[in-house]
Amino acid sequence: MRKRTLFGGIMLGILALAAGAAWAVAAEVGKPAPGFTLTDLSGKVRSLSDFAGKIVVLEWTNPNCPFVRRVYGEGVMSTVQKQYVGKDIVWLAVNSTNKDHDDFESVESLRKTYGEWGAGFTALLLDTDGKVGKMYDARTTPHMFVVNTEGILVYNGAIDNAPRGGKGETVNFVKVALDEVRNGKKVSTPTTKPYGCSVKY
């Protein structure tokens, strides 16, 4: 099933390019999530297709971005990761920082930082050439995507509605989307404006 949607995604991409589409091919809510293969912090190769049939959360991250530090420091990110990662939900963090950027960190440094932050993602994937980030049009860190069990992208946007941090009630868009997907419901808010630092391609 995943292979077919991946193929479909590629064909759509080729057709769009051939048609000279004004808008670059990127992940589209309601369409199959673009497939990819990246290496994680332990050197293991991971493909989106490995997780066919599961709900997948993608989280663009950069440990040197003050927004990322805040969402981990305040427990916003790690709490949701730990609450939801399990048999049916996979959480993939992606770092698309280019290696010449000041914000670039080594594998050892990333492992240490996210370990200290108590991160609960399944894996942190290295996208140093930015290809996957650009396929998804990931613009900020954090920038969140949710893929349902059929491989369809169902959420694209911010982690929550509090770019400056929560003072009072905040809505965690990813939690809401995950609860809806698990209950077989349509995601009620499929798109929001992501907040954060720009991804350092």
Partner 1 sequence: MTILFALIAWTMLPSRLVAQVAMAGEGTPLVEARLVTEATDVSRPFVVALSFTIASGWYLYWKNPGDAGLPLDVQWRMPVGFQVTALQYPTPDKIVHGDIVAYGYYDELLVQCTVIPPPGYVAGPDDAVRADLEWLVCKESCIPGRDSLSLKLERVSNGSVVAAGDVFGRFRERMPQTLSARNTVAGPLSLRTEGGHIVATIPLSGAGASGVTDFFPEPQEEFVVDHKSITVSDGKITIRLTPYDSAARLEHLDGLVIYGRRGYNLSIQIHKTP
Residues 6+ apart with CB under 8 A from 36: 47, 48, 131, 132, 135
Exactly one of 103, 120, 152, 175 binds partner 1 (CB under 8 A); that residue is 103
Joined tokens for residue 180: 């809806």
End-to-end CA distance of the chain: 32
Give the residue with the Cβ less far from partner 1, 22 or 87.
Answer: 22
The residues in 34-63 that bind partner 1, with binding defined as CB under 8 A, are: none
Nearer to partner 1, 20 or 87 (CB): 20
Q: Is 104 in the site for partner 1 (CB under 8 A)?
A: no
Q: Tell me how far apart the alpha carbons of residues 153 and 25 are, in angstroms, rounded to a whole number.
A: 14
Nearest to 2 by CA among 45, 32, 27, 25: 32
Q: Position of tokens 């920082």? A: 97
* Segment 108 to 167, residues that bind partner 1, using CB under 8 A: 112-113, 116-117, 134, 137, 139-140, 157, 163-165
Q: Which of 39, 49, 128, 192 binds partner 1 (CB under 8 A)?
A: 192
Residue 14 is which amino acid? I
Compare residues 36 and 136 and give the one whose CB is closer to partner 1.
136
In angstroms, rounded to a whole number, what is the distance separating the alpha carbons of residues 164 and 166? 7
Query: What residue ranges bind partner 1 (CB under 8 A)?
Result: 22-24, 28-30, 64-66, 69-70, 72-73, 101-103, 112-113, 116-117, 134, 137, 139-140, 157, 163-165, 188-193, 195-201
